[in-house]
Structure 1
Amino acid sequence: MADTLDYNALASTAPRSVRKKFAKPPVKVACLPCRASRTRCGGQMPCANCVSKDRECSYLPSKRGGPRKKKEKSSLSPEHESKQDDALYNTIPSPPEFEEAPGMFNQIDELSLPGAGLRHLDFQSDVPSVFQNFFTGDGNQPHMQVPLISPPVNSTQPFVRTYGSEPEILNAYYDFIHNYFPILPPRASPPCRDRPLNCPVPGSTTSEPMMMYRPRSPLSLALSAILALIPHPSDLEPSSAASVHQRRTYAHTFAQLANSTIEAECDLDLSSTDPGQALSAARPFVGRERFHSQAPVDYESLLALLVLSVYEYSQRGNLLKMRYRAGQALAIALDKSLHAQMGNDEFSEARRRAWWMTYYCVIQGSIVSTTMPAIIINDPQFTTPYPTFSSDTEGWAILIQAQQVLVSATQFIGDLNKCISSQSGMYYMFERMQQLDAWTHSVIAQAELLPLLPQRSDFGDHNESITAQSIRAISRIKLSSAQIKTHRFRAFSDIPIFIKRHCDLTAASPNTPTTPASAKSGIHNVSCSCSNLTSFERASSTEYMTPSDSSTSSDIQTGTQSYTSQYAYPFASGFPYSTQQSAKICLQAALVISRLFHSLPTPQPLLDPQQQQRRPLPRSMPSFACCLMQSSYAMFMIYYKARVTKQLAPDTPDDEHGGDSGGDSTDQLIEELRQGLERIIAAVSNYSLAFEALDGMRDEIEGAYKTAFPLASV
């Protein structure tokens, strides 16, 4: 400590050399090897440094660079500034290989924000022009950031997935959408072969594309918007800019037609001629044939709005319109009293699915935007029974409960931040944390119980059993995401950079006397904020392990070092969980999410005998893709903790087999994290084959992955 004080005193009195300006300003984007070695990069491809050292030169989009903001002059002396910085962040020294940790956390932090990673096709100015046409990774990856301007027509004409009749659209709904978003009752007829119109679309850049068939129902139009995003089997270059542009154009045209049809069907005939009598007149009659034989035709506008809500999120990246479409559907559902339907007839299942999927979408909009729900989640007026799966009688109940748990965990984060800022009400938050954790574990226990399968199974039951399994997996994903949200503050509050970047509270006065943490007790003894967190305690790496096929736990005992900050965490003793307990919960939840996303079923349409599926088909309706971001965020943070633990581990004698078991178990954990992140990247890459807004999610996670594992390939 004396050496440190002498160094600080010497540094404060020594004359500071004037830093010369760069003869040439730094480049905005440096290559990965130069960033890792803290060497100035020339910005070429390849750069001069990599050429001279005969190494691979690769780039990733960086949020650093550009003009630097001048720091405001502080009225404090350099000595006081140094003491204040030490008081805030003097917990543990970062190992040499984490000298770039702030840059890494610039990438990791964004994974936990609302709408993290979504590309906004409706707001072109939000996308930096420097990153348009930017290939991810080393340039060999098949994905590309598609420019938002109209691209030149490709040499091969693109195909767009469109259909020639309402029954064919309905059949495609069951092939590509129903397993993830069951808004309609089970199939009423056997599956048919998937036959999208097999003709190339003209390479026109006009706003109105040419359609061989115009769907009649607002629901079939909305479904066509989703289906048009799925690459056509005859498209030889589905990832080309021309193909992506055409799919985007057709999908948005279908979505706009669906909206205009909904508006037309909601208009009252007398509104334009006799507004005074319009409200007393009968509702407009919809005379077309039902899209689904067991769903009333007047429900189709409501169901179309639910589909468009997911479209706005996953394709356009527009959270406001996502919530707006769900709100419109909610207004229609309440107007039709779908929330209180107790009858049992041929349309009862359609009514139940229409209501509870409306409820689901309204809550989902609140979750992804971290806003208050537009409804009371446990309103006693919502008496409509849950829909049913013949193979899983509890599947729908678990889905709705998972949605309720996740939105409650989202609200918990906001309330916790407010309590930390005001330094009040923390004990109430501790109690809520325990209650929320217990509730989550209770629903997880239900979700993990295997359902009893029926004895008889026809084509409808078989297809619905796949849907039921998918819905149960989605529920489990949501519950794991709720666990991460509940525990992530406590789990990662011992990381210095997390403290520095996540706490917007008033710093302690530099005149506050330094007192050992062990001598302090009670919140009244502390005048600083969340930056004065508990010391980082290096636990055995097996505490972070979770049972899996790829790792085995061991009872290895290693020494524990604690690095005590100068101030105590004001409310550390009140937390019902230690940082190690919360970190373990986050780890287990993140790995569960990665495995379940990987296990979700992929579309398996019936094809003509001469057709073969040449490429993987994307899953659809990723309204819960924010769970991918929560999982990756948790794994990156635990990766940081594991690497710091490994670097700070004391030198211990090898065991009787001549190996360092503690280091092996940490390496095993890091390897499992790497595999989990690769599963997450594979899942979001699959979604981004169809949905452009998720390109940003994929690139954000891949960028952080490349920083953490520069030698790995995804």
Structure 2
Amino acid sequence: MADTFHHEGALAATAPRPVRKKFAKPPVKVACLPCRASRTRCGGQEPCCSNCLAKGRKCGYLPSKRGGPRKKKQKLSPSPSPDEELPHDGPYVDVSSADLEESPGMFTQIDVLSLPGAGLRHLDFPQVASLFQGYFTGDDSTSHVHMGPISSPLSTTQCLVRTYGSEPEILNAYYDFIHCYFPILPPRASPQCQDRPLQFNISSSNSSPEPLMMYKPRSPLSMAISAILALIPHPRDPEPSSPASVLQRRTYAHAFAQLANSIIEEECDLELSSTDPGQALSTARPSVDRERLHPRTPEDLETVLALLILSVYEYSQRGNMLKMRYRAGQALALALDKSLHCSVEDNGFSEARRRAWWMTYYCVIQGSIVSTTPPTIVINDPQFSTPYPRFAADAEGWSILMQAQQVLVSATSFIVDLNKSLYSQSGMHYMYERMQQLDSWTTSVLAQMDMLPIISPESDFGDGRETVTAQSIRSISRIKLSSAQIKTHRLRAFSDIPIFIKRHCDLTAADPSNPPREVKNSPSHQGNGMNSVGCSCSNLDQFQRASSAEYMTPSDSSTSSDIHPSIPQYPQFPFATGFPYSPQHSAKICLRAALTISSMFEGLPYPQPLTEARQQEHELNRPLPRTMPSFACCLMQSSYAMFMIFYKARVSKQISPDSESEIAAESTDQLVKELRNGLERIILAVSNYSHAFEALDGMRDEIQGAYQTAFPHASI
């Protein structure tokens, strides 16, 4: 038996190998794209090959880069090009389109694996083509890629993303779209230029983890700026609100942000850390060697400024407050390392260093405000001795902005501590004192804001006065101070009864065990993805069931004559009777502050780039989105206060005696009209932001859903 097996093994070893079947005809030089995607041999006929003609599909070709003598491969390629002749150890089988039609069984067994949920992604042509995208573009990061868009009959939609072709164009766009809301750089060093984003069409179905960039910015700051600019719809995009356009903008913006982060990591790294760690601790950080983006800003500050922009990007676009605080923390560490917090030098770079430090301070505190966490720095630390920057049009603008930020973070800490004291029923006397101090502090800064701005001597270069920027910063400061007023008085006025379904900032969310009532959307809102937006207004039933006597606590009886007829009194915590302000007084402060916020948001300037006349006419009907909405929580504070006063005014009208019903009705109607106008301004403002920043969609939907509940027959 052993001999038999040995004999059969010898025959198998000496048996001739099957001869590879030769091509009936040589392969074509250029295969069509559908055949390449399906790995089917192509006939090469133009304009449509036989395979595509038989299957009734569209046929398209790309120019071939093959040609010249073949080179010997040094190693086997893991993924050979599908239109090259592949070496085989076994016989080559030429499968024609006719063979596929006659014996479809083998392929129908494979097709089910391509269906969604079967473990394989559905492979269509654009996805396969994206795998080879890197073969058709260069990797040079410092030069333009002169390549036109790939037109394919299978790409149904062409999208445009706002990208730029040089560093000066990116800097010019920063001043057009970002600077007046987030002035991290000194004033313009040169006159405003025409805004010229690249006209590069991107196939909506040709998405890739690494999008094609016609120009790659050189510094982390220009990359971070590009991440924000990519979110702003391109002026020539025919459908900027389409899912395809939104997805492309999101993809490009995140690609720029990741590139900026990677360069920041490289510049913060030491070469000895990987080669000789024992010597790394005694080695100074190498200097940054690249051309400055702004002539009056040292290149070593660009890393800090890039992190500040990325902090706002993580919040307003990605909705990631943890990363927002992390980026701001990185910027703080670098700023302290560069001694920006105690810079007293006065030279050509002093203004840049001052803005870099105080905007870092601003972003660190902003992270604490939106996340409702204690500040990671002492807000009035005496070591922070760097003078404030200056606007030529408003010498006190920066001081007011920083004071407003300090007041707002203090009000945020106050409302957190107040809730803890109310829950534990202890320490209330101290909280009453803090409430009075906060109210006085806010009033003092507001009085300072009402004074006319102090104008510095006009600068001698570019837009040195920064008039629009100074006015915008004053409006943002007033928004923050008004939000601080609402936080200070909100619990006293409204008992923090939840209105919104989800948690936003420090506002109480609705009880998830109490499902919200769904609101039927009007046709004008069905295109915004609001298929089922609700409002947790069932929590207000206690006001409708209550009698007028239940709206007054014993400590408020002496102030009952000061009650506005359209602002009723509200149920309070039974043990919280020593507040320094009555519920009616706090409600009036919240009302004025909420209406002020809505007016200030409406008055914020829109971006005004220099564009062609045709484009300007188009933008009149569709204003460009404002940017850098790091203070969007103020929108939620304002809308919450207005909704609460609206429902309480409605209850007040219902419980008024008959003798006062006519007066109460007239007063309530006027108040409701003001509240409705204020809420519409808020919705328009947050909708404008959400055209570019997707994370604000949640805020917009919450406010809009509550608005539709309050005003079911209204439309915006």
Q: Give TM-score, length-normalised by structure 1.
A: 0.68
1:536 paired with 2:541, answer no
Instruction: Please give the alpha-carbon distance, in whole angstroms, between the structure 1 residues aligned to 2:499 and 2:315.
Output: 31
**Selected match of 1:608 from 603, 609, 612:** 612
CA contact (8 A) 2:563 2:584 kept: no
CA spacing shift, 1:318–1:194, aligned 2, 3 Å: same
Equivalent position amino acid for 2:650 in 1: R
**Selected match of 1:571 from 557, 568, 576:** 576
Instruction: Please give the alpha-carbon distance, in whole angstroms, between the structure 2 residues aligned to 1:380 and 1:227.
Output: 37
Alignment of 1:73-92 (within 5 A): none
Give the secondary structure class of the aligned counterpart of 2:160: coil
CA spacing shift, 1:705–1:154, aligned 2, 3 Å: farther
CA contact (8 A) 2:494 2:644 kept: yes
Q: Please name the residue that 1:651 is paired with.
A: 658
**Selected match of 1:371 from 344, 366, 373:** 373
1:585 paired with 2:589, answer yes
Q: Please name the residue that 1:100 is paired with.
A: none
CA contact (8 A) 1:314 1:692 kept: yes
Instruction: Please give the alpha-carbon distance, in whole angstroms, between the structure 2 residues aligned to 1:568 and 1:225.
Output: 48
Give the secondary structure class of the aligned counterpart of 2:288: coil
Instruction: Please give the alpha-carbon distance, in whole angstroms, between the structure 2 residues aligned to 1:702 and 1:494.
Output: 20
CA spacing shift, 1:590–1:610, aligned 2, 3 Å: closer
CA spacing shift, 1:417–1:562, aligned 2, 3 Å: closer
Q: Please name the residue that 2:159 is paired with.
A: 158
Q: CA deviation at 1:459?
A: 6.8
CA spacing shift, 1:585–1:159, aligned 2, 3 Å: same
CA spacing shift, 1:278–1:699, aligned 2, 3 Å: same
Q: CA deviation at 1:650?
A: 1.1
Give the secondary structure class of the aligned counterpart of 1:158: strand
Instruction: Please give the alpha-carbon distance, in whole angstroms, between the structure 1 residues aligned to 2:228 and 2:573.
Output: 53
Equivalent position amino acid for 2:342 in 1: A
Equivalent position amino acid for 1:612 in 2: Q
Same amino acid, percent of matched pairs: 71
Equivalent position amino acid for 2:674 in 1: E
Q: Please name the residue that 2:270 is paired with.
A: 268
Q: Please name the residue that 1:168 is paired with.
A: 169
Q: How far does the alpha carbon of each residue in 1:261-312 deviate from its partner, in whole angstroms, 9 at most, with x for none?
A: 0001111111111111112123122211001100110111110000000000
Q: Please name the residue that 2:59 is paired with.
A: none
CA contact (8 A) 1:494 1:535 kept: no
Q: Please name the residue that 2:113 is paired with.
A: none
Alignment of 1:45-444 (within 5 A): 155-203=156-204, 204-444=206-446
CA contact (8 A) 2:343 2:386 kept: yes
CA contact (8 A) 1:164 1:197 kept: yes
Alignment of 1:502-521 (within 5 A): none
Instruction: Please give the alpha-carbon distance, in whole angstroms, between the structure 1 residues aligned to 2:225 and 2:604.
Output: 21
CA spacing shift, 1:265–1:491, aligned 2, 3 Å: same
Q: CA deviation at 1:494?
A: 9.6
Q: Please name the residue that 1:46 is paired with.
A: none
Q: CA deviation at 1:687?
A: 0.2
CA spacing shift, 1:431–1:503, aligned 2, 3 Å: farther
Q: Please name the residue that 2:663 is paired with.
A: 661
Instruction: Please give the alpha-carbon distance, in whole angstroms, between the structure 1 residues aligned to 2:492 and 2:605.
Output: 34
Unaligned runs of 5+ residues in structure 2 are 1-152, 501-506, 511-545, 554-558
CA contact (8 A) 1:495 1:641 kept: no
Q: Please name the residue that 1:638 is paired with.
A: 645
Equivalent position amino acid for 2:213 in 1: M
Q: CA deviation at 1:180?
A: 0.2
CA contact (8 A) 1:391 1:461 kept: no
Instruction: Please give the alpha-carbon distance, in whole angstroms, between the structure 1 residues aligned to 2:466 and 2:640.
Output: 33
**Selected match of 2:690 from 688, 691, 701:** 688
Instruction: Please give the alpha-carbon distance, in whole angstroms, between the structure 2 residues aligned to 1:690 and 1:669.
Output: 33
CA spacing shift, 1:153–1:419, aligned 2, 3 Å: farther
Equivalent position amino acid for 2:574 in 1: Y
Q: CA deviation at 1:493?
A: 2.6
Q: Please name the residue that 1:145 is paired with.
A: none
Equivalent position amino acid for 1:570 in 2: F
Give the secondary structure class of the aligned counterpart of 2:451: coil
CA spacing shift, 1:561–1:219, aligned 2, 3 Å: closer
Unaligned runs of 5+ residues in structure 1 are 1-151, 505-530, 539-543, 545-554, 655-659
More deviation, 278-287/256-265: 278-287
Equivalent position amino acid for 1:704 in 2: A
CA spacing shift, 1:698–1:459, aligned 2, 3 Å: farther
CA contact (8 A) 2:392 2:458 kept: no
Q: How far does the alpha carbon of each residue in 1:525-551 deviate from its partner, in whole angstroms, 9 at most, with x for none?
A: xxxxxx9x993149xxxxx9xxxxxxx
CA contact (8 A) 2:220 2:263 kept: yes
CA contact (8 A) 1:168 1:195 kept: yes
For the aligned residue pairs, the C-alpha RMSD in angstroms reads 2.9
Equivalent position amino acid for 1:577 in 2: Y
Instruction: Please give the alpha-carbon distance, in whole angstroms, between the structure 2 residues aligned to 1:171 and 1:683.
Output: 25
**Selected match of 2:706 from 704, 707, 710:** 704
Give the secondary structure class of the aligned counterpart of 1:388: coil
The structure having more radius of gyration, on CA atoms, is 2
Which structure is higher in RCO with an 8 Å CA cutoff and minimum separation 6? 1
CA contact (8 A) 1:185 1:349 kept: yes
CA spacing shift, 1:557–1:475, aligned 2, 3 Å: closer
Instruction: Please give the alpha-carbon distance, in whole angstroms, between the structure 2 residues aligned to 1:494 and 1:321.
Output: 28
Q: CA deviation at 1:326?
A: 0.2
**Selected match of 1:594 from 593, 598, 616:** 598
Give the secondary structure class of the aligned counterpart of 1:535: helix
CA contact (8 A) 2:393 2:465 kept: no
Q: CA deviation at 1:453?
A: 3.8
Q: CA deviation at 1:625?
A: 0.2
Instruction: Please give the alpha-carbon distance, in whole angstroms, between the structure 1 residues aligned to 2:666 and 2:395.
Output: 45
CA spacing shift, 1:377–1:153, aligned 2, 3 Å: farther
Q: Give TM-score, length-normalised by structure 2.
A: 0.68
Q: CA deviation at 1:558?
A: 6.5
Instruction: Please give the alpha-carbon distance, in whole angstroms, between the structure 2 residues aligned to 1:608 and 1:700.
Output: 37
Instruction: Please give the alpha-carbon distance, in whole angstroms, between the structure 2 residues aligned to 1:486 and 1:568.
Output: 16
Q: Please name the residue that 2:61 is paired with.
A: none
Equivalent position amino acid for 1:589 in 2: A
Q: CA deviation at 1:156?
A: 3.4
Q: CA deviation at 1:198?
A: 1.2
Q: CA deviation at 1:231?
A: 0.3
Q: How far does the alpha carbon of each residue in 1:122-150 deviate from its partner, in whole angstroms, 9 at most, with x for none?
A: xxxxxxxxxxxxxxxxxxxxxxxxxxxxx
Instruction: Please give the alpha-carbon distance, in whole angstroms, between the structure 2 residues aligned to 1:212 and 1:607.
Output: 21
CA contact (8 A) 2:392 2:465 kept: no
Alignment of 1:484-523 (within 5 A): 484-493=486-495
CA contact (8 A) 2:498 2:509 kept: no
CA contact (8 A) 1:484 1:586 kept: yes
